[in-house]
């Protein structure tokens, strides 16, 4: 049986709320900005003579670099804590570890949940964390090709907690559990893969196509 893949369509991402008291949402957060004193120094330099302005700009840049190093150190500590939390959680079917010695890039794995068409399938994902993490969402995508209504051909995932519903209270564990849940509970009203969405209601045909095209 042959299914033609349609191009991705613009849509609202799937709304999926994590389960359990550990997961919280709806907290207003904002990304870190340039420190106020740095902005003031940069603005005032416009009224200085060239030499003074250059010196002021240099000082502001050094201050910004210092703040950036501190922020990166803070993110590293956060990610180390998340790694320990994930390792100690005992959650079935999910795992993730930093790639080599780079704490800002992880490789994750998700096993399809029991009782779903994805049962028995194992998927690899990449997670890349920005300097503004956890106030900015990580970039998460499937490395293993995933035939799913809310996953496009490049592996990108349409999930609200990775987009506009992201909160600093989420962590790697909650991300992986949410994606694992999404596999068995897609949002067919806003698909990235229309072929998968149309086939979903016929679970027998969906499973047959899924398993025949799955590549480890």
User: Residues 13, 14, 146, 158: which is the catalytic one?
Assistant: 158
The verdict on whether 158 is a catalytic residue reads yes
Question: How far is residue 136's CA from residue 84's CA, in Å, rounded to a whole number?
Answer: 21
For residue 79, give the H/E element and its range.
helix 50-89
Are the C-beta atoms of 110 and 93 separated by less than 8 Å?
yes
Q: How does 136-157 read in b/e, with b if 16+ C-beta sit within 10 Å?
A: bbbebbbeeebbbbbbbeebbb
The residue among 94 and 35 whose pLDDT is bigger is 94
pLDDT digits (tens, 9 = 90+) for 112-167: 999 999 999 999 999 999 999 999 999 999 999 999 999 999 999 999 999 999 99
For residue 211, the model assigns a pLDDT of: 95
Q: How does 165-201 read in b/e, with b if 16+ C-beta sit within 10 Å?
A: bbbbebbbbbbbbbbbbbbeebbeebbbbbebbebbe
Q: Which two tokens stand for residue 148?
A: 């799913």
Q: Quickly count: other Cβ atoms within 10 Å of residue 162's Cβ.
A: 21
Are the C-beta atoms of 165 and 25 separated by less than 8 Å?
yes
pLDDT at residue 52 greater than cutoff 70: no
Q: What CATH fold (topology level) applies to the domain 90-216? A: Ubiquitin Conjugating Enzyme (3.10.110)
Question: How far is residue 142's CA from residue 121's CA, in Å, rounded to a whole number?
Answer: 13
What residue ranges do the domains of the chain occupy?
34-89, 90-216
For residue 69, the model assigns a pLDDT of: 80
pLDDT digits (tens, 9 = 90+) for 185-208: 999 998 999 999 999 999 999 999
Q: Residue 67: which pLDDT band, with cuts at 50, 70 and 90?
A: low
DSSP 202: S
Question: How far is residue 113's CA from residue 152's CA, in Å, rounded to a whole number?
Answer: 20
Average pLDDT, the chain: 80
Which residue carries 């949940």 as its tokens?
A: 113
Q: How many CA atoms are closer than 13 Å to the CA of 15, on its beta-carbon side?
A: 4
């Amino acid at each position: 049986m042959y299914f033609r893949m349609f191009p991705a369509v613009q849509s609202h991402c799937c709304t999926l709320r994590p389960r359990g008291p550990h997961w919280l949402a709806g907290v207003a957060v904002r990304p870190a900005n340039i420190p106020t004193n740095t902005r003031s120094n940069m603005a005032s330099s416009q009224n200085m003579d060239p030499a003074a302005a250059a010196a002021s700009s240099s000082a502001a840049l050094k201050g910004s670099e210092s703040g950036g190093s501190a922020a990166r150190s803070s993110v590293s500590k956060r990610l180390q804590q998340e790694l320990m939390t994930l390792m100690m959680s005992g959650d079935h079917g999910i795992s993730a570890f930093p790639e080599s010695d780079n704490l800002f890039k992880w490789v994750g794995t998700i096993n399809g949940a029991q009782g779903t068409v994805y049962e028995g399938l194992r998927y690899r994902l990449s997670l890349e964390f920005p300097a503004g993490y956890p106030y900015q969402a990580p970039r998460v995508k499937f490395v293993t090709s995933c035939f799913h209504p809310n996953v496009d051909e490049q592996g990108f995932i349409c999930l609200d907690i990775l987009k506009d519903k992201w909160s600093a209270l989420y962590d790697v564990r909650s991300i992986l559990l949410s994606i694992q849940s999404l596999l068995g509970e897609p949002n067919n009203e806003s698909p990235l893969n229309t072929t998968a969405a149309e086939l979903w209601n016929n679970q027998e045909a969906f499973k047959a196509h899924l398993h025949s095209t799955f590549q480890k």
